[in-house]
Amino acid sequence: MSNELLISLILLVPLLVAGAVLALNSIPDVREAATLVGAGALFILCTVLAIRTGSGQEIALESPDIALGLTFAFKLEPLGAMFAMIASGLWILNSLYSIGYMRGSRERNQTRFYVCFGLALFGAMGVAMAGNLFTLFVFYEVLTLSTYPLVAHKGDENARRGARIYLLTLLGTSIGFLLMAVVWTFAIAGNLDFVEGGLLAGKVGPALGSVLLLLFAFGVGKAALMPFHFWLPNAMVAPTPVSALLHAVAVVKAGVFTILKVSVYIFGLDLLSALPGTEIVMWVGCFTIVVASLIALTKDNLKARLAYSTVSQLSYVTVGAMLANTAGASGAALQIAMHAMAKITLFMCAGAIYVATGKTEISQMRGLGRRMPIVFTCFLIASLSIIGVPPLGGSWAKYELMQGAVDADHIYVVYVLIASTLLNVAYLLPIALLGLMPPNADTLEVAGFKRPGGAPFLTVLPLAITATGCFVLFFGVDVISDFISPVFGARP
């Protein structure tokens, strides 16, 4: 298969899935099979893509000029290949999970749900493979728009309100800031290609560069940097599979991926470390890490707590990119992978608990782990990975980030990371531990199953796999870091 065909197929498969789901509206079993087959095919294609990228092949595809000197261009580099692998791989598991969840909780409009999922993956693949800033921007918006109906899925006033905030924040920041940054970059550099060493390197002064960096950092609303983070907790009105794949993996990771990509290929690490604006973004990132964790502590709703945890963890990536050295940036890249695996597990656990018992508040879950041991054990494992306990994947990301902070002489970042770890312990561990402990002595009452038989098998299997994945990532970290190391130059 030629590389051009490979890129086209990766873009086409999610669209075909969306089309097939629409056509198979009336036969739910076949409709779901179409999603699964498509997800499987996409993952295989992405694996091929990653292998070819890793072997140093030039994989690119460019459309003719569409207007004003803009083109749709796709060009693979390790970061994008990694993101495509993560998104497509987790799509398979999440599709299995969706089937169990959507049927288990008898949601309406399931066809629209799967169609939009396909479109969202199309957006994510485009973001991953984008070869210039214009293409990245376009697919970024595709991702925003295709997930809007998913957030509004329930259709009641609450869901519509959440979806409205979601759309307005993401579109508002991207049109208000990001587009301006993109066009401005175009005006300065004359093109929008991702260039090794940075497109803007040597073309902007410190003041202009800082302004551009701030426009990028706040324009990418999906990276959930404060004060543009509130869309994420509001998006939690969506069904849990959406929160799991999109708001822990595809959408938010597309945001921080954009930040990382802009840092590496538009600014270049050298330019970035010389800009005063970098320091500002890093401060905001650190602020977000700590404050979002503190807010998470106050939330009793499980999904809300996880959402704030995501806000906090996303800023790890932003801060890592702003450290602007090899260890920091590769720590940021690792964080994308590690956090994706752990956070999707946590969300799937939350969904499984909801389907089985109808409970959404943490305080109602005491003792529940005895009835759902697998779910709560997996929750514990994923929590430990987020906290950064070996032998779980999350520990490597945190280690590299700290290394980067020390290298860059930003000791306060190390303290922020340590504080964040303690806060992680405080807001994540009690959930699993209280769940596994015996019920309250005075009431002796554990929430019962709303659904006979507890969580459907299809909701438990995927989360068990991803929890195992957290272990695998710890031992397989060399593969990933070797794969992405060409992006940042040699490792020190």
Q: Is 152 in the site for another protein (CB under 8 A)?
A: yes
Check residue 451 and report its DSSP letter: S
Per-residue binding letters, 54-83, with another protein (x by CB under 8 A): ----------xxxxx-x-------------
How far, in Å, CA of 131 to CA of 60, rounded?
8
Q: Are 81 and 128 in contact (CB under 8 A)?
A: yes
Check the CA dihedral 311-312-316-319 and report its sign: positive
Q: Is 208 in the site for another protein (CB under 8 A)?
A: no
Check residue 370 and report its DSSP letter: G
Q: If 0-12 CB within 10 Å is exposed, 13-18 middle and 19+ buried, where does residue 389 land?
A: middle
Q: If 0-12 CB within 10 Å is exposed, 13-18 middle and 19+ buried, where does residue 29 land?
A: exposed
Q: Which of 100, 104, 131, 149 binds another protein (CB under 8 A)?
A: 149
Q: Is 19 in the site for another protein (CB under 8 A)?
A: no
Among candidate residues 189, 423, 173, the one with its CA nearest the CA of residue 298:
423
Q: Is 145 in the site for another protein (CB under 8 A)?
A: yes
Long-range contacts: 162-170, Cβ < 8 Å, 24+? Answer: 162/234, 162/235, 162/236, 162/237, 162/238, 163/235, 163/237, 165/230, 165/231, 165/234, 166/231, 166/234, 166/235, 169/221, 169/228, 169/230, 169/231, 170/144, 170/221, 170/222, 170/231
CB of 197 to another protein, least distance (A): 24
Q: Which of 167, 201, 368, 413 binds another protein (CB under 8 A)?
A: 167
Q: Is 138 in the site for another protein (CB under 8 A)?
A: yes
Q: Is 180 in the site for another protein (CB under 8 A)?
A: yes
Report residue 30 as tokens: 């076949």
How far, in Å, CA of 425 to CA of 178, rounded?
35
Q: Is 171 in the site for another protein (CB under 8 A)?
A: yes
Of the candidate spans 38-46, 183-191, 446-454, 470-478, the one that interacts with another protein by CB under 8 A turns out to be: 183-191
Q: Is 226 in the site for another protein (CB under 8 A)?
A: no
Q: Is 186 in the site for another protein (CB under 8 A)?
A: yes
Q: Quick one: 137 or 483, whose CB is closer to another protein? A: 137
Q: Is 119 in the site for another protein (CB under 8 A)?
A: no
Q: Is 176 in the site for another protein (CB under 8 A)?
A: yes
Q: Is 205 in the site for another protein (CB under 8 A)?
A: no
Looking at the chain, the number of H-run helices and the number of E-run strands are 20, 2
Q: Is 441 in the site for another protein (CB under 8 A)?
A: no
Per-residue binding letters, 79-118, with another protein (x by CB under 8 A): ----------------------------------------
Q: Is 262 in the site for another protein (CB under 8 A)?
A: no
How far, in Å, CA of 433 to CA of 485, rounded?
38
Q: Which of 74, 83, 122, 137 binds another protein (CB under 8 A)?
A: 137
- Interface with another protein by CB under 8 A: which residues? 64-68, 70, 137-138, 141-142, 145, 149, 152, 155, 160, 163-164, 167-168, 171-172, 175-177, 179-180, 183-184, 186-187
